[in-house]
Amino acid sequence: MTLNIMDAILMDGYRIALTFDDGKQQTVDFKPFLVSSHHPEVRAFLDPDRFAQFELRHGELVWGDYDLCFPIMDLYNNTFLHHGVHLAAA
């Protein structure tokens, strides 16, 4: 099954409400990931203005030129932090 993100809305803080093409909606809080990272390129997204500059590209949620992105299934299931915190940039 191929999933795409159809809509992404910045809520408060570092939470983004996602709508997938199968109709599922998921609100993902990225703050725990960002705060836990030791990588300076990831921590740079703690700047609220920089974090807010995400976009949807080819059905994926990305920042910059894929400077920060996440596996779509992890966003869909809201489980990307449950695999252990990823400390490196994407």
What confidence score (pLDDT) does residue 86 get? 46
What confidence score (pLDDT) does residue 87 get? 43
**Every domain of the chain and the residues it spans:** 5-77
Query: pLDDT tens for residues 33-85?
Result: 999 999 999 999 999 999 999 999 999 999 999 999 999 999 999 987 644 44
Architecture of the structural domain at 5-77 = 2-Layer Sandwich (3.30)
Query: pLDDT tens for residues 35-48?
Result: 999 999 999 999 99
What confidence score (pLDDT) does residue 88 get? 44
pLDDT surpassing 90 at residue 12: yes
SS3 per residue for the chain: CCCCEEEEEECCCCEEEEEECCCCEEEEECHHHHHHCCCHHHHHHHCHHHHCCEEEECCEEEECCCCEECCHHHHHHCCCCCCCCCCCCC
